[in-house]
Amino acid sequence: MKQAKAVQRVFILGMDGAGNFVQQANTPTLDAWLTRGAFTYEAQAELPTISAECWGSILHGVSPDKHGLTNDKVANESFPTDSPFPSLFRLVREQQPEAKLASFTGWSPINSGIIEDNLGVNKVSLPDAELVPALLEYVEENPDVRLLFLQLDEPDGSGHRHGYGADSPEYLKMIGTCDERIGTILERLEQLNLVEDSLIILLTDHGGGGAEKHNHGSDHPMDRNVFWGCIGPGVKIGRLSGPVSITDTAEVTALALGLSVPQQWDAKLPEGLLSDGCIPEEKHHG
């Protein structure tokens, strides 16, 4: 991206299974931060609206029929390091070998089965409450991290237990708890002066409660409509009116980090994301 200030690092901060119900939950952090950049509550999850398929698309830039990830697969297998659909982490490692990379996940199969092994990624999988302090400690010691990914898992667990949707108080409360946790991270990033030259993407992988109150996986809007926001240098402030897919996260991240992207990616740069006069350089395909 041609920007007034170069992006030094990208933070992808996500929560699992929150859909766009952040609109009904108590989420002061998201309310404040999304409006500091470009955002939508109508971004689209991939189909089926299941965690492995959706986080796989977010991190690999292609639809599930290409990356082939399922919950069962990621729980039992490593992602092949020679796949034609590399993760963002592999792209950075191949093109910027010295870059510091980190992934903090509440759902451990992301680290074991979606992000490739042997890339030198600092991988931490812990319950949400322990995950955030571990992330904060890492960022304080590694402010020059190039790409950092966070997945908080508990909204999804709460949805499965109590039901998804605006009429499920326990579920909305857990979204609020995750909002607080992300708020702790963003507050620390500001204290460390890491916001101004970082791109921050806030998102979820899918919703739930559409076809079944306690589940997800369908193409129902409750399962598929999700929030997505991007804050950082060159990003236009305001609501995005065009289509956004969660898969586009990979394209936005790669462009911000100056990476060449695979020709077979499905990810695109969302229309209207960048400020006028801040046009992405011609896309380089590897």
Return mean pLDDT, the chain.
95
What is the pLDDT at residue 278?
A: 54
Residue 276 has a pLDDT of: 67
Instruction: Say what the pLDDT of residue 275 is.
Output: 84
pLDDT greater than 90 at residue 2: no
Kindly state the average pLDDT of the residues 179-201. 98
Which pLDDT does position 114 carry in this prediction? 98
> 9-256 architecture in CATH?
3-Layer(aba) Sandwich (3.40)
> In this model, does residue 86 exceed pLDDT 50?
yes
Instruction: From 160, 108, 100, 159, select the one nearest 130 (Cα to Cα).
Output: 108
pLDDT at 10 over 50: yes
Residues 6+ apart with CB under 8 A from 55: 14, 110, 114, 151, 205
Question: Is the distance from CB of 202 to CB of 49 less than 8 angstroms?
Answer: no
- Identify the band that residue 201 occupies on the pLDDT scale cut at 50, 70 and 90: very high
pTM of the predicted structure, to 2 decimals: 0.96
The full set of domain ranges for the chain reads 9-256
Q: Which residue has the higher pLDDT, 256 or 283?
A: 256
pLDDT of residue 1: 41
Is a pLDDT exceeding 70 seen at residue 224?
Answer: yes
pLDDT (mean) for 144-162:
98
Structure tokens at 91: 């792209």
What is the arithmetic mean of pLDDT over 110-137?
98
Mean pLDDT across 212-218 = 98
- Hey, what long-range contacts does 248-253 have (CB within 8 A, 24 or more apart)? 249/12, 249/58, 249/59, 249/201, 249/203, 250/57, 250/58, 250/59, 250/60, 250/61, 250/88, 251/61, 252/199, 252/201, 253/10, 253/12, 253/88, 253/147, 253/199, 253/201
